[in-house]
Amino acid sequence: MKQYIPNLITLLNLFCGSVAVVFAVLNQLELAAFFVFLGIVFDFIDGLAARLLNVRSELGLQLDSLADMVTSGLVPGIVMFQLLGMSMSGGWNVDLSSQAANDTFWVGLKVAPLPFFGFLITMASAYRLANYNVDENQVSSFIGLPTPANALMILSLPLILLYHGNDFLSEIILNQWFLIGVTLLSAYLLNSRIALFALKFNTWNFKDNSQRYIFIIVSLVLLMTMKFLAVPAIIAFYILSSLVGNIGGKTS
């Protein structure tokens, strides 16, 4: 019976991702972000459960990637699609429920291909997940940015607009070239050859996990002081600390 527990948790990740897709399509990006975050929590717990119960399997690996493809691959693509659409319309369309808004939205899609560029993130995520499943070098560390981390980076953008909203930030985030740059950077980081440490603890002592503990402490401080603005900073710190660890031979 215990062998089914991690897979059940993985399916909860998939469920959260499916709900997030619905909210992202409806342009309810705050709710989409919430369910993506919840799905990522389940994604972390399923791996932890598999290790604790010693029931890791090939089925679980494939199922995990399929769930991540929805939660951390499809949803960020839709969110970037929405943000690029906002950059063209000049702001956040908060009421897509009205017929007039829907008519404007869909007419815009027919003549404006730019928002579809956001799905480059989805394609890059699919390639990264497929490569992860066949790459035997990504057991205790990652090559390229993990899809959950990338999803959090993309989902932080509408949250920054909502909770740190000011003209300066809005002008930057809703700039088409900025969003195109973020999309390209996202696709690159997902499939780069940068070795990044994993938050997997084989022991709990500080000496063997100093890099992980420092990252967690710095991340918590950033979140408490900067809130959603901290997310891109944490991703940047994650990559930088991994690069420093690589030079020192500490990534494991």
Q: Which of 7-11, 109-113, 182-186, 210-214 has the highest mean pLDDT?
A: 182-186
Give SS3 for 141.
strand
User: For the chain, what are the domain ranges?
Assistant: 2-193
CATH second-level architecture of 2-193? Up-down Bundle (1.20)
Distance of CA 224 to CAs 40, 155, 199, Å?
20, 18, 20
Distance of CA 225 to CAs 197, 219, 220, 221, 228, Å?
25, 10, 9, 6, 9
Is the pLDDT higher at 16 or at 47? 16
**Quick one: pLDDT band at residue 203, thresholds 50, 70, 90?**
low
**Six-digit token pair at 142?**
């990652």
How big is the CA angle at 87 (ends 126 and 128), to the nearest 5 degrees? 10
The residue written with tokens 């619905």 in the block is 22
CA 189 – CA 151 distance, rounded (Å): 12
Region of poorest pLDDT, from 24-28, 47-51, 214-218: 47-51
**Quick one: pLDDT band at residue 43, thresholds 50, 70, 90?**
very high
pLDDT confidence of residue 139 = 63
**Could you tell me where the beta strands, DSSP code E, fall in the chain?**
141-143, 195-197
**Six-digit token pair at 183?**
């999309």
**Quick one: pLDDT band at residue 164, thresholds 50, 70, 90?**
confident
pTM here is: 0.86
Whole-number mean pLDDT of the chain? 86
Q: pLDDT tens for residues 209-224?
A: 788 899 999 999 999 9
**Quick one: pLDDT band at residue 138, thresholds 50, 70, 90?**
low
Is the pLDDT higher at 51 or at 191? 191
